[in-house]
Structure 1
Amino acid sequence: MISSLQPPFFQALGDSKRVLLAGMGGGFDVFCGLPLYFALREQGVEVTLANLSFTSFHPLDPRPLTPSLLLVTPDLPPHGRTYFPELHLARWLDAVGEPARVFAFEKTGVQPLLGSYRALVQQLAADTVILVDGGTDALMRGDEADLGTPHEDAVSLTAVNELNGVRSFMVSLGFGIDAFHGVSHWNVLEATAEIARAGGFLGAFSLTPDMGPVQKYREACEAVFKQMPRHVSIVNASILGAILGEYGNIHATDRTGDSELWINPLMAQYWCYDLPAVAGRLQYRKALLGTHTMSQVDQVIHAHRESVALRSRHILPI
C-alpha cells in the first residue's frame, strides 16, 4: 500500500480515539458523514453521531446535557413529527447492530450551540470533532455573489472553532450540489486554494461503490428514504447517484423536477479541511459569536452583506 500518497486528512486524524462526527448544516447532513463513521469504526475509533436538527424539539424530549441538545434513541416517541431523520437513522443503526444514538442540536444561534458542543465533548471525552457539510456552501466567506444557505453552516463552524482541547476538521461531500441554491463553484475552488495556501487543505478522496462503508451509507439512506418518502434528501440522493456513475441532469426525486441538475463524479469526493482555517475566512464570524437565535444570525448575515462590496459572479472556465 502506498501510504505516502494518502490524503493528509488521515494523518491529521492521527491517534484520535473518540470522535464526534456532526452534520453542520441541518437536515440530512449527518448522513453525509456515514462513510467516515463506518470507516473509523472499522479502525477501532469510538465515533458518536450528531446533527444540527431541523426537527422541532418537544417538551418531553430527553435533554440530558443542555436544553438545546436532544438525545435521539430508537425508542424516542416521534410526538407527531413527520420530519425526523435523526430518529429514523437511530432506528436503522439499532437494526444493523450499531450504537443506536444520535445527538440532535437545536437550531439556535452560536452561544446555545457552543454550550451544547462543550457539554457533549466533555461528556464523551472526545478528542476530535469533524463537521460534515452536505454540499460546499460552508466554504463561502461572505462577499460572494450568492452564499447558498449559510446560516446553519456558519453557526456550526463558528461554535466548533471556539472549542478548546480538541482537534477540529471540516469535510464536505457533494461538489456541485449547491448550484441548486445559486452557489458558484468557482468560489468553492477559490476557497480551497486559499485554504491550501494557508496549509489547511487536507486533500480529497473519492467514494466508490465497492467500499464497505459506502455500501452501508447507501443502505442507511435507502432505508430512511423509505420511512420519509416525502422528504428524500436531494443532497444524499445526488451523491449516491454520483457514486454509482450517473452523470448529468439525473433526478432521483421529483422534488428537483423543475430544475436542471449536474450529477458528476466530483460529488462523490470528500474534500477535507482544517476547521480553524475555514473559520478564519468567514468574514462575519466574530459578529456571530454573541448570537442566541437564528433571527439574530440572519440579521448578522444581512448586515454584513449590506456593509461589503459583493464580488461579481464567476463561473468555472471549463
Structure 2
Amino acid sequence: MLTSLQPPFFSAIKDSRRVLIAGMGGGFDVFCGLPLYFALRAEGMEVTLGNLSFSSFSPLAPHPLAPALIEVTPEFRVSESEYFPEYYLSCWLQAQGETPHVFALRKTGVQPLLAAYRALVKHLSIDTIILIDGGTDALMRGDEADLGTPHEDAVSLCAVYQLAEERPELKTYMVSLGFGIDHFHGVSHWNVLEATAELARAGAYLGSFSLTPEQRPVQLYRAACEAVFQQMPRHVSIVNSSILSAIEGQYGDYHATDRTRGSELWINPLMAQYWCYELVPVARRLQYRQALMDTLTLSDVDKVIRRHRDSVNLRPRHTLPI
C-alpha cells in the first residue's frame, strides 16, 4: 500500500468515529456521498446520511428533532407521486439488511438550518461532517460570471461553518463529485480550478481521487441510484446519471436519461473524481457569507445573493484553455 501517495483527505478523516455525510444542495446530492458512506462503514466508522430536502415532510414526522430536521424512515407513508429521494434511499438501505440512518433537513435560511445541524450533531455525537456537492458550483465565491445554483449550497456551507466556529473540535470538510456537470447551469470550470488552486495555496485542498467500476462502494452506489430511479422515474437525477456514465467510461454528449435530451452534455472522466477540501476555508471565500448568516428563509437568501451581485463588478467569463 503506497500510503505516502494517498490524498490528504484520507489522513484527515482516519481517526473519525461518528461521521455525518450530508448533501448540501438538496435533491439527490446525498447520493453523491454514497461511495464514501459505504467505504467509511467498511472501515468501522459510524456513518449517518443527511440531505437538504426538497420534500414537504412536516406531516410525516410529528415529533421532529428540530423544526427543520427529521429522521426519514421506511415506515413513512409516501405517495408514489411525491418527490422524496431520502425516503426511497432509506427503504433501499433497509432492503440491503442495513439499519438506515437518513435525516432530512428543510430548505431554509442559515439560522434554522444551523439549529438543525446543532441538534443532529448533539443527538448523534457527530465528530466529523462531510458536506457533499453534486457538481462543483459550491466553490463559486460570488463575483463569477455565473454562479450556477448557489442558494442551497451557500446556506449549507454557512450553517456548518458557523457550527465549526462554535465547536473547534468538530472536523468539517466539503467534497464535490461531478466536475463538468455545472456547465449545464452556466458555470465556468475555469473558476472551479481557480478556486481549487487558491485553496491549495492555503493548505485547504485535500486532494482528489477517482471512482472506478470495480470498487465495491461504487457498485453499491450504482445499485442504490438505479433502485431509487425506478421508484422515481419522473425525477431521475441528471447529476448522478452523468456521474455513473462517467464511471462506466462514457464520454462526450452521452445521455443516460431522457431528461437531458435536447441539451449537449460533456460526460468526462473528471466527473468520477471526488475533490476534497477543508470546509472552513471554502466558506471564508464566500463573499456574501456574513450577509447570509441571519437569513431565515430561502427568499432571504435570494435577496442577499441578488444584492451582492448588484454591488460587485462581475469578473469576465473564462473558459478552460485546453
Task: Assess if the C-alpha contact under 8 Å between 1:74 and 1:101 holds in 2.
Answer: no
Whole-Å separation in 2 of the counterparts to 1:48 and 1:293: 26
Q: CA deviation at 1:198?
A: 0.5
In the other structure, the counterpart of 1:268 is: 272
Task: Assess if the C-alpha contact under 8 Å between 1:24 and 1:51 holds in 2.
Answer: yes
Q: Give the 3-state SS of the residue equivalent to 2:55 in structure 1.
A: coil
Whole-Å separation in 2 of the counterparts to 1:96 and 1:211: 18
Whole-Å separation in 1 of the counterparts to 2:281 and 2:62: 35
In the other structure, the counterpart of 1:125 is: 125
Q: CA deviation at 1:59?
A: 2.7
Q: Give the 3-state SS of the residue equivalent to 2:58 in structure 1.
A: coil
Q: TM-score, normalised by structure 2?
A: 0.97
Alignment of 1:136-155 (within 5 A): 136-155=136-155
Runs (4+) of structure 1 exceeding 4 A deviation are none
In the other structure, the counterpart of 1:248 is: 252
Deviations 1:203-244 (A, max 9, x none): 000000000000000000000000000000000000000000
Q: Give the 3-state SS of the residue equivalent to 1:183 in structure 2.
A: coil
Once the two structures are overlaid, the 10-residue window that deviates more, 35-44 or 8-17, is 8-17
Q: CA deviation at 1:14?
A: 3.0
Aligned pair partner of 1:233 in 237, 241, 249: 237
In the other structure, the counterpart of 1:196 is: 200
Once the two structures are overlaid, the 10-residue window that deviates more, 156-165 or 110-119, is 156-165
Q: CA deviation at 1:62?
A: 4.1
| Structural RMSD (CA) | 0.9
Q: TM-score, normalised by structure 1?
A: 0.98
Query: Structure 2: which amino acid aligns with 1:143?
Result: D
Alignment of 1:188-227 (within 5 A): 188-227=192-231
Whole-Å separation in 1 of the counterparts to 2:297 and 2:81: 22
Deviations 1:99-118 (A, max 9, x none): 22310000000000000000
Once the two structures are overlaid, the 10-residue window that deviates more, 97-106 or 28-37, is 97-106
Q: Give the 3-state SS of the residue equivalent to 2:129 in structure 1.
A: strand
Whole-Å separation in 1 of the counterparts to 2:63 and 2:277: 31
Whole-Å separation in 1 of the counterparts to 2:63 and 2:267: 39
Structure 2 stretches lacking a partner, 5+ long: none
Alignment of 1:51-62 (within 5 A): 51-62=51-62
Q: Give the 3-state SS of the residue equivalent to 2:61 in structure 1.
A: coil
Q: 1:123 to 1:220 in 2, by over 3 A?
A: same
In the other structure, the counterpart of 2:67 is: 67
Query: Structure 1: which amino acid aligns with 2:25?
Result: G
Whole-Å separation in 2 of the counterparts to 1:197 and 1:60: 46
Structure 1 stretches lacking a partner, 5+ long: none
In the other structure, the counterpart of 2:281 is: 277
Q: Give the 3-state SS of the residue equivalent to 2:286 in structure 1.
A: coil
Whole-Å separation in 2 of the counterparts to 1:92 and 1:274: 31
Query: Structure 2: which amino acid aligns with 1:263?
Result: I
Q: CA deviation at 1:61?
A: 2.0
Whole-Å separation in 1 of the counterparts to 2:190 and 2:62: 43
Whole-Å separation in 2 of the counterparts to 1:284 and 1:122: 28
Once the two structures are overlaid, the 10-residue window that deviates more, 98-107 or 27-36, is 98-107
- Report the count of equivalent residues: 318
Task: Assess if the C-alpha contact under 8 Å between 1:66 and 1:116 holds in 2.
Answer: yes
Within the alignment, does 1:2 sit opposite 2:6 as a pair? no
Task: Assess if the C-alpha contact under 8 Å between 1:55 and 1:81 holds in 2.
Answer: no
Once the two structures are overlaid, the 10-residue window that deviates more, 289-298 or 67-76, is 67-76
Within the alignment, does 1:23 sit opposite 2:27 as a pair? no
Once the two structures are overlaid, the 10-residue window that deviates more, 176-185 or 60-69, is 60-69
Task: Assess if the C-alpha contact under 8 Å between 1:54 and 1:107 holds in 2.
Answer: yes
Whole-Å separation in 2 of the counterparts to 1:194 and 1:314: 16
Once the two structures are overlaid, the 10-residue window that deviates more, 96-105 or 212-221, is 96-105
